[in-house]
Amino acid sequence: MKVRYQYRIYPTPQQVKGLNQLFGCCRVVYNDALAIVRSVPQGEKWPSNAELQKLVITQAKKTAERKWLADVSVVPLQQSVQDLGVAFKNFFESRSGKRKGPKVGFPRFKKKLNQQSARFVRTGFSLKGNKLELAKLGRFKVKWSRPLPSEPSSVTIIRNTAGQYHASFVVEIGSINIEPLRPSIGVDLGIKTFAFLSTGDRVESPGYNRLDRKTRRFQRKLARQVKGSKRREKTRLRLAKLKLKTANIRKDFLHKTTTQLIHENQVVVLEDLAVKNMLGNRKLARAISQQGWGTARTMCEAKANMVNDREVRIISRWEPTSQICSDCGFRWGKVALSVRSILCVSCGTEHDRDGNAAKNIEKSGLGLTQDSK
């Protein structure tokens, strides 16, 4: 299977100038191709990727307005047009129902201030010792945090909004064989406690409050400053670094937590949470979005495919996991969120609300729940 390995790179000032020019050329080629497609009259056939590449790259280089496209490598420009084709494919498959997940919108024009990227295939890059060599850009210093498992098939150079540069390699890996410690586990995701496991263990999420207060303070400051000023750009950069730090802390925590769940358990059972609908609660929206429940589910499903004999099961969001005793199956009905401990009137067992839900999630995922009737 194909996975991505991402590393930080440190370009020189001259290479930064060349990368910025490359990002701008890729953005212009993408936007020009999208403009051509949008200008096609309704009912007529759209141009193919090969025709778009000929129009926005080959022929455009011969004009005075786009002759500077010849200053950069043609490989990432071609890949930029390919990305537009993938965007249209995802849009039509989402409309027809072939693509699962949230609906994908019509492709939009790329902006200069967003994250920038350029992809090189094997004809445009090579590894020279510990350095990465890119066509027409030279060799880059790479912070190799871990070795590549195999020869990369492509590399994407990324510049985030904080001004940092990364190289993302696509490599081929085989399946991993790890003996599980338990046959199954149920996971109840929450806000104060990130996850309560059916084994009785709790997984506490890192604190985001201090960084969140700083972020909101700089957002208010940014809103008051004059657009285009140097001080506003300085504040924007500091705000981007704060958001990046929060995202990195959350990503590191989620990777470690999901890796441990997949490695130690043969079957991981999760609940199908309607996160988008839950974000409509203005009092809990910030706390919910900070947890990254959707990312955790995606990571679990991806890592289950990387390890042999692992499975992630998703139960329905309508399962009454908090309304049923996990010991005797007695249903006591809805209970207010402020109630954290429940005493079953049928068997006399006292349950922690989240612990009881985690056990019911595991039983429901394994098909062991009793008939509600």
**Integer Cα distance of 6 and 10 in angstroms:** 13
pLDDT (tens, 9 = 90+) of the chain, 373 residues, equals 899 999 999 999 999 999 999 999 999 999 999 999 999 998 899 999 999 999 999 999 999 999 999 999 999 999 999 999 999 999 999 999 898 878 899 999 999 888 999 999 999 999 998 999 999 999 999 999 999 999 999 999 999 999 999 999 999 998 889 999 999 999 999 988 999 999 999 999 998 999 999 999 999 999 999 999 999 999 999 999 999 999 999 999 999 999 999 999 999 999 998 888 888 888 889 999 999 999 999 999 999 999 999 999 999 988 888 888 988 888 888 888 888 888 888 888 888 888 899 999 999 998 876 544 4
Residue 129: how many CB atoms within 10 A of its CB? 7
**Integer Cα distance of 275 and 201 in angstroms:** 24
Helix boundaries (H) for the chain: 13-38, 49-53, 74-96, 209-224, 230-264, 275-278, 285-291, 293-306, 353-366
Note if 354 is an active site residue: yes
pLDDT at 369: 64
Which class for 256: exposed (0-12), middle (13-18), buried (19 or more C-beta within 10 A)? Answer: exposed
Note if 271 is an active site residue: yes
pLDDT at 370: 52
3-state secondary structure of 232: helix
pLDDT at 373: 41
Residue 245: how many CB atoms within 10 A of its CB? 14
In the chain, the largest separation of any two C-alpha atoms, in whole Å, equals 83
Under a CB-based contact definition with an 8 Å cutoff, are residues 303 and 262 in contact? yes
Under a CB-based contact definition with an 8 Å cutoff, are residues 155 and 170 in contact? yes
Residue 307: DSSP 8-state = B
pLDDT at 16: 96
Residue among 320, 311, 233 nearest 269 (CA): 311
Q: Which of 271, 311, 350, 362 is catalytic?
A: 271
3-state secondary structure of 350: strand
pLDDT at 334: 86
Residue 45: DSSP 8-state = P
**Integer Cα distance of 352 and 355 in angstroms:** 5
**Integer Cα distance of 23 and 138 in angstroms:** 16
Q: Which of 188, 319, 327, 371 is catalytic?
A: 188
pTM attached to this predicted model: 0.87
pLDDT at 372: 45
Q: Which of 32, 319, 354, 362 is catalytic?
A: 354
Which class for 50: exposed (0-12), middle (13-18), buried (19 or more C-beta within 10 A)? Answer: exposed
